[in-house]
Amino acid sequence: MIEELLKYDTELFLFLNKLGNTSWDGFWLIVTEKWSSIPIYAFLLYLVYKHYGLKGTLVVLISVALMITATDQLANLFKYGIKRPRPCQVETLRETMRYVAVRCGRYGYFSAHAASSMAAAVFLSLLLKKWYRYLPFLLLFWAAVVAYSRVYLGVHYPLDIVTGMFFGSLIGLLFYKIQRWGQRRFVK
């Protein structure tokens, strides 16, 4: 059953990966770059500060730092525990896939990019939805775009992405609750 699932995952990867073309490669390289999201995060930080004040924003920033650390470390635990090679490391796929990324790590289950962007989207959606009701849809769309970029570039399978988004959602929810406790304990 697992082999069958991995076979379908590879087929879906090849289908999605081959949808790309050179005119879009630069765009997806920018999307996947962690630093390209800084303007979005800066704007969201402004919104948090506007509604939570200085002390509340500090609680949020500490929660976010711990949340991103948790997603990265959990992804590393899975990557080195399961040791599923990334598609760009699989010899039989190299001739049929598009490899666009600048570098390719050894293992890729699950995607830390997908997990951290989804965790941030869930966390910030829950944090700000009271004031901006359409923001959750925009943030979840942004997280999905970041996650898809990893397939486009040839460094993750779709199952890596879905798993990363799942764990990112759970971690985002967990740290939102931790942040709420911190707000009650240290701010109010």
Tell how far CA 187 is from the center of its chain. 29
pLDDT by residue, tens only, the chain of 188 residues: 888 998 999 999 999 999 988 999 999 999 998 889 999 999 999 999 999 999 999 999 999 999 999 999 999 999 999 999 999 999 899 889 999 888 888 888 889 999 999 999 999 999 999 999 999 999 999 999 999 999 999 999 999 999 999 999 999 999 999 999 998 988 86
Give the integer Cα–Cα distance in Å for 104 and 142. 23
The values of phi and psi at residue 107, to 5°, are -120, 155
Helix axes 38-82, 112-128, angle to 10 degrees: 130
- Residue pair 31/113 in contact by the 8 Å Cβ criterion: no
Distance (Å) of CA 118 to CA 22, 128, 139: 27, 15, 8
Confidence (pLDDT) at 57: 95
Q: What is the DSSP letter of 109?
A: S
Instruction: Tell me what pLDDT residue 34 has.
Output: 83
What's the pLDDT at 176? Answer: 97
Rg (CA), the chain: 18
